[in-house]
Amino acid sequence: MITLKILLDMRDFQGRRSDRDIEVSPSMGMQQTNHKRVVVVGMGFGGIRAARRLADSGLEVTLVDRNNYHLFQPLLYQVATAGLEQESIAYPVRALIRGSRNLFFRMAEVTGLDLAERRVLTDKGPLAYDYLMLAGGSETNYFGNKGVERHAFDLKRLTDAESLRNTILGIFEQAVLEPDPILRQQLLTFVVVGGGPTGVEFAGALSELIRYVFRKDYPTLNLDESRVILLEAAPAILGAMPERLQRYAERHLGQMGVEVRCSTMVADAGPGTVTLASGEVIAARTLFWSAGVKAAPLAGMVPGEKGPGGRVKVNPDLTLPDHDDVYVVGDMACIEHEGKILPMMAPVAMQQGSYVAEALIEREQGGRPAPFRYQDKGSMATIGRNSAVVSAFGMQLSGYFAWVAWLFLHLYYLIGFRNRIVVLLNWGWYFWFHERQVRLITAADAAGKKTGEQ
């Protein structure tokens, strides 16, 4: 039944195949028709949701992104830890819109906004619009710490995941040849900063990679020397979760060999060192940063008041103040729900993308859309093989059944039938054999980038 629903979702999105592809010159903006023109910037979760609903809506929709694919960011950490091929978590935008007569795509970088003239300025020329939806997402927030920014890895793009995987694999190739025990210990120490879902999932996956896969790959290397250290500035990891699930996650990570240290802040980082606010220095060649995000640079091009992280403050209907033809959604938007600013998470972006698409259709039919209301469906995080935590609909799950729920939900939201099959096969292979097949070093300087070696 799940497979049937996924296939039906794909069919509903793709619609009927057109007799021919329609191309529009970016310099001309859009085709000259009587339909209203919508420009959607950003093909993340919010942009894709809006595109799904606007397909065959009668509106002329141009989708704009610097990449020609939609990236399923929640699984980037599995690419970085050799669990998945990078192509299995991305899907070409043009393949998504192939059967839709009113959807067009422009691979371009937004360089500015001319709201007075209703134009989006790009490196491929301007695009005129009647309605504009900005869903540019976010970028890593280093909070002004230049040392950390220079030496830490993050996970926001496919290239980030590949680079981090190359580094991890390259470091073990170095370690197996390193005679100095002090330098070898430094190589085998990994510091993960940020105890949110990304940090927890990455730390757990990295620990399992070392314990179950590298132990067989490097039999001459004493992997008892390796350390995975998870640092969190708050008193507990997974701050959005109930306390019981926080304790479970911390305890389970400890059983996996991850050193969890809460109420611990990073002050600086250098080549092979991580300095804590307490003055303690950890000798570690690899630092992974997942301690914060901020709005993408596109938010800085938008006039008006900004909230925390440079997010754009919007009206209750997600429109920009003084510009009711401009919508801001996802990580770029700053809007409150029950007295708190909505978090920068995929479920928020998806609901907002769907809302904006429905609002545009309703406006064109002469209606007046109601304000956006967020439905909190909970949160989840996987800790490792057979274990996860889920807080949803008043329920608190942990362990195996939470892990199964995490698997199916991520498979459901992953775009592309082939991608779902490939990811499911990789997960099944690892579940039964504790083996990760994507252990490929694809860069000559892999172990040197951001590690101080080169």
Active site residues: 201
Q: What is the DSSP string of 3-33?
A: HHHHHHHHHHHH-SPPSS-----GGG-S---
Other beta carbons less than 10 A from residue 141's beta carbon: 19
Q: Kindly state the DSSP code that residue 256 receives in the 8-state scheme.
A: T
Q: Is 226 left (phi over 0), alpha (psi -120 to 50) or beta?
A: beta
Q: Answer for the pair 420, 240: CB distance below 8 angstroms, yes or no.
A: no
| Rg of the chain taking only CA atoms, in angstroms | 23
CA dihedral sign, ordered 162, 165, 171, 174: negative
At residue 231, what are phi and psi to the nearest 5 degrees?
-110, 135
Question: Token match 């429109």: residue?
Answer: 319
CA distances to 9, 53, 301, 389 from 41, rounded to whole Å, are 23, 15, 13, 33
Angle at 290 between CA 152 and CA 296, to 5 degrees: 95
- 387 forms beta bridges with 384
Three-class HEC string of 407-440: HHHHHHHCCCHHHHHHHHHHHHHHHHHCCCCCCC
Contacts for 18-23 with beta carbons within 8 Å, 24 or more apart?
18/99, 18/100, 18/101, 21/98, 22/101, 22/104, 23/104
- 313 forms beta bridges with 334
